[in-house]
């Protein structure tokens, strides 16, 4: 789960991390009121969307030469003007895709006198089973570009979770950022605070770009992106409360209500599978046969009629879907019960695209009989290869 910049900053501030003062706003009036509470005379009006690259982004509704989603305002009047330009409009950045994202929230924050911009991020590194801190002197720009053209300017410091954050990690961060004296000490301290926040909040990614050195010699977090391991959200109700569903794919939200693991993809074959491994194998074999999956969907172990119906509805909402492949292994669940669920669900949603079903496991013959006698044009398949070939042939007939 992702949160907005202002929410992430408020969380980080609780761990002692230095951030510029700022207030979120949903309307132009709130933006003006927020600016009045800040010291001034420089303010920054920042579009809050779950995507980076806002500064260099473009608003669809504004002229091509208009500025993007991070604007420096020199007066309250400018804050008002920029808020009017941004709210309700669609910001397109390198991370939003062409459709862009509508700006519904702003963050009005103190304008900082920047001496230098740095980069610091943290991810869980699965290979080393550690938290990896990635730091660079090249802040404020696209880190992928830095990694590509000047990889020597990026340092990675890994932290053993059993050992925790040690002073030498802090020194390594200060050294990598080429900081000396008090700024070097501040770098070590802020790195430790960020690490503590990362671990305590069960983050899976935390990116500070830029971390800035101010002209008066302080290190501040100017921009941050934070995402959380959704498997641990149950123990962070305060974080869960920050969820902004307007930023998420509606189909994925609907799926999560039914405890379905659904991820939308770009292909035309809808997939309904039980088990994540089988779901991935199913997507692979569709690709092997020359078409692309429209989604990843794991209905889980207890695929009830209700769940299967919800899954069909979610798959069919995607206009790109030209056919559905159901691939279910009846282990704990028996194939006849699954077949009943599929038939009931297909009737309820008035299935309008070809449906290929591959069942395997307990009571498989009863299951196949139920499908065959359902009166529905369900195409039965014997194994995974057969199923993939059949659904690919079906969607090509429609196309
Ligand atoms: P994004 O990465 O989405 O473009 P940032 O918050 O990183 O958004 O803003 C882009 C740039 O705008 C920063 O690299 C920084 O130079 C400048 N900026 C952002 N916030 C402030 C601020 N509070 N004061 C001064 N400059 C800022
Ligand atoms: Mg940034």
Closest ligand 1 atom to Cα of 57 = 4
For β-strands 323-330 and 378-381, DSSP reports them as unpaired
Percent of the chain at pLDDT > 90 equals: 78
- Spatial separation of the C-alpha atoms in residues 63 and 249, rounded to whole Å: 28
For residues 63-90, average pLDDT: 95
For residues 86-102, average pLDDT: 93
53 Cβ closer than 6 Å to some ligand 1 atom? yes
Query: Which residues lie closer than 8 Å to 390 by C-beta, 6 or more apart?
Result: 356, 379, 381
Structure tokens at 100: 């862009």
Torsion 283-338-263-86 (CA) sign: positive
**Ligand 1: distance of its center to the CA of 211 in Å?**
10
DSSP percent split of the chain into helix, strand, coil, nearest 5: 40, 25, 35
How far lies 331's CA from each of 179, 304, 374, in Å? Answer: 59, 14, 23
Binding site as annotated, residues for ATP:
46, 53-55, 112, 117
Average pLDDT, the chain: 94
Closest ligand 1 atom to Cα of 51 = 3
Can you name the residues that pair with 208 across neighbouring β-strands?
120, 224
| Substitution site in 101, 223, 225 for ligand 1 pocket (most atoms within 8 Å of beta carbon) | 223
Confidence of residue 399 (pLDDT cuts 50, 70, 90): low
Whats the size of the chain, residue-wise?
A: 399
Angle at 222 between CA 161 and CA 119, to 5 degrees: 55
Q: Is there a cis peptide before residue 41, judged by omega within 30 degrees of 0? A: yes
Closest ligand to 139 CA?
Answer: 1
Closest ligand 1 atom to Cα of 68 = 4
Q: What pLDDT score does 395 carry? A: 94
For residues 252-265, average pLDDT: 88
Q: CATH number of the domain at 250-398, please?
A: 3.40.50.261
Angle at 266 between CA 263 and CA 271, to 5 degrees: 55
Confidence of residue 253 (pLDDT cuts 50, 70, 90): confident
**Ligand 1: distance of its center to the CA of 222 in Å?**
6
DSSP state of 293: B
- Spatial separation of the C-alpha atoms in residues 227 and 246, rounded to whole Å: 16
Any idea of the CA torsion for 135, 136, 139, 142, to the nearest 10 degrees? -90
**Ligand 1: distance of its center to the CA of 372 in Å?**
61
* Sequence-separated contacts (24+) of 242-250 with Cβ below 8 Å: 242/3, 242/4, 242/7, 243/1, 243/3, 244/3, 244/4, 244/50, 246/102, 246/104, 247/2, 247/49, 247/50, 247/101
For residues 325-346, average pLDDT: 87
Binding site as annotated, residues for substrate:
274, 331-333
- Spatial separation of the C-alpha atoms in residues 21 and 30, rounded to whole Å: 16
Q: What pLDDT score does 330 carry? A: 85
270 Cβ closer than 6 Å to some ligand 1 atom? no
Highest mean pLDDT among 130-134, 242-246, 335-339: 130-134
First to last CA, the chain: 36
Q: Whose CA is nearest to atom 15 of ligand 1?
A: 140
Provide the annotated active-site residues. 119, 207
51 Cβ closer than 6 Å to some ligand 1 atom? no
Q: What pLDDT score does 301 carry? A: 73
- Spatial separation of the C-alpha atoms in residues 137 and 241, rounded to whole Å: 35
55 Cβ closer than 6 Å to some ligand 1 atom? yes
pLDDT in tens, 217-243: 999 999 999 999 988 999 999 999 999
Binding site as annotated, residues for Mg(2+):
209, 223
Name the pTM for this structure: 0.82
Runs of H (alpha helix) within the chain: 5-13, 28-37, 76-86, 143-149, 167-176, 181-200, 237-240, 250-257, 276-288, 305-317, 335-348, 364-372, 384-398
Q: What pLDDT score does 97 carry? A: 85
Q: Under CATH, which architecture does the 21-110 domain have? A: 2-Layer Sandwich (3.30)
pLDDT in tens, 145-195: 998 999 999 999 999 999 999 999 999 999 999 999 999 999 999 999 999
Percent of the chain at pLDDT > 70 equals: 99
Using DSSP's 3-state secondary structure scheme, residue 223 falls into coil
Using DSSP's 3-state secondary structure scheme, residue 25 falls into strand
Q: Is there a cis peptide before residue 300, judged by omega within 30 degrees of 0? A: no
Confidence of residue 121 (pLDDT cuts 50, 70, 90): very high
Q: Where are the domains of the chain?
A: 21-110, 114-240, 250-398
Structure tokens at 140: 């404020």
Q: Whose CA is nearest to atom 7 of ligand 1?
A: 223
Closest ligand 1 atom to Cα of 5 = 6
How far lies 89's CA from each of 47, 122, 152, 378, in Å? Answer: 10, 32, 39, 45
**Ligand 2: distance of its center to the CA of 267 in Å?**
32
Q: What pLDDT score does 252 carry? A: 85
pLDDT in tens, 301-312: 776 778 888 898
Q: Say what angle helices 335-348 and 364-372 make with each other, to 10 degrees.
A: 20
Please give the CATH topology (third level) of the domain spanning 114-240: D-amino Acid Aminotransferase; Chain A, domain 1 (3.30.470)
Closest ligand 1 atom to Cα of 56 = 4
**Ligand 2: distance of its center to the CA of 70 in Å?**
10
Confidence of residue 398 (pLDDT cuts 50, 70, 90): confident
| Substitution site in 210, 215, 225 for ligand 1 pocket (most atoms within 8 Å of beta carbon) | 210
**Ligand 1: distance of its center to the CA of 209 in Å?**
8
């Amino acid at each position: 789960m992702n949160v907005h910049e202002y929410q992430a900053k408020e969380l980080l501030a609780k761990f002692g991390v230095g951030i510029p003062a700022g207030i979120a706003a949903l309307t132009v009036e709130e933006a003006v009121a927020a600016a009045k509470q800040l010291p001034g005379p420089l303010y920054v009006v920042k579009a809050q969307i779950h995507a980076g690259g806002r500064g260099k982004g473009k608003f669809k509704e504004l002229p091509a030469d208009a500025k993007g989603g991070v604007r420096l305002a020199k007066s309250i009047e400018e804050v008002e003007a920029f808020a009017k330009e941004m709210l309700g409009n669609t910001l397109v950045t390198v991370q939003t895709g062409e459709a862009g994202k509508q700006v519904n929230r702003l963050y009005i924050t103190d304008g900082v006198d920047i001496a230098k911009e740095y980069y610091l991020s943290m991810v869980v590194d699965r290979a080393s089973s550690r938290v990896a801190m990635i730091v660079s002197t090249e802040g404020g720009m696209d880190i992928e570009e830095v990694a590509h053209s000047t990889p020597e300017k990026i340092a990675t410091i890994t932290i053993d979770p059993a050992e925790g954050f040690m002073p030498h990690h802090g020194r390594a961060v200060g050294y990598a950022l080429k900081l000396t004296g008090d700024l070097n000490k501040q770098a070590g301290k802020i790195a430790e605070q960020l690490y503590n926040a990362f671990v305590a909040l069960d983050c899976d990614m935390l990116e500070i770009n830029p971390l800035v050195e101010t002209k008066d010699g302080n290190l501040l977090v100017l921009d941050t992106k934070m995402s959380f391991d959704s498997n641990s959200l149950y123990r962070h109700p305060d974080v869960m409360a920050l969820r902004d569903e307007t930023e998420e794919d509606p189909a994925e939200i609907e799926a999560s209500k039914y405890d379905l693991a659904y991820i939308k993809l770009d292909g035309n074959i809808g997939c309904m599978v039980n088990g994540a491994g089988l779901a991935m194998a199913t997507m692979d074999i569709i690709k092997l046969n020359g078409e692309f999956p429209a989604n990843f969907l794991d209905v889980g172990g207890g695929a009830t009629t209700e769940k299967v119906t919800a899954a069909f509805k979610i798959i069919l909402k995607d206009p790109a879907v030209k056919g559905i492949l159901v691939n279910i292994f009846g282990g704990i669940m028996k194939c006849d019960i699954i077949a009943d669920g599929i038939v009931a669900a297909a009737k309820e949603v008035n299935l309008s695209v070809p449906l290929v079903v591959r069942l395997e496991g307990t009571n498989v013959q009863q299951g196949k009989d139920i499908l065959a006698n359902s009166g529905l044009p369900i195409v039965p398949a014997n194994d995974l290869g057969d199923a993939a070939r059949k659904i690919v042939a079906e969607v090509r007939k429609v196309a």
